[in-house]
Amino acid sequence: MNPRWGREADDPVDAATERAVEDAIEIMREKLGEHITVDDLARATMFSRFHFSRAFQRITGMSPGRFLSAMRIQEAKRLLLGSPRPVAEIARLVGYPGADAFVAGFSEAVGLSPGEYRRLNGLAGAIPRDCHRWMAGVASVWTAPAAPAPAVAPPPTAVTGPTTAVAGNVSASG
């Protein structure tokens, strides 16, 4: 049993099944830029699609398709930061059928478009995945925020009379 998979000690997976999953991952690495299906991987490991998918999910914690997508996104990140190649070429190199599908998949997985990821020099890890929801009206070019103004405590408010707590709310009665 390969300790890097992080399964529970009492999770029985035979060595042949684990080896088949490792072989499938190696095939994914070797053929990352090609059209690979779960059926292709199952055939290569000599398992039925159903058995292969279940074993892969059990061992890695994710489906073969999701695992392959994650590998493609990781390679795309590396290429975006380490080469001047156009996004369309990177899409092809990591196995997407076209730039549109790549941009959509990358944006969904990373939270930024490939171009934004490249412009931010890969700093997407520090940006929340759902940032596109609250950044809709923000300009695409990020600028450093101005230095914050010194904190000033708000003036105290006077409450006259006794206070009564009602269902978690505090109301002043006078």
The string of pLDDT tens digits covering residues 79-121 is 999 999 999 999 999 999 999 999 999 999 999 999 999 999 9
Q: Once rounded to an integer, what is the mean pLDDT over residues 27-48?
A: 94
User: Contact, 41 vs 95, CB < 8 A?
Assistant: no
Torsion of CA 115, 117, 120, 126, to 10 degrees: 160
Question: Does the pLDDT of residue 171 top 60, yes or no?
Answer: no
In angstroms, the CA 170 to CA 105 distance is 48
Tokens of 31: 């053929």
In angstroms, the CA 124 to CA 122 distance is 5
Q: Which residue has better confidence, 122 or 154?
A: 122
State residue 12's pLDDT score.
60
Q: Once rounded to an integer, what is the mean pLDDT over residues 50-72?
A: 95
Q: Which residue has better confidence, 140 or 86?
A: 86
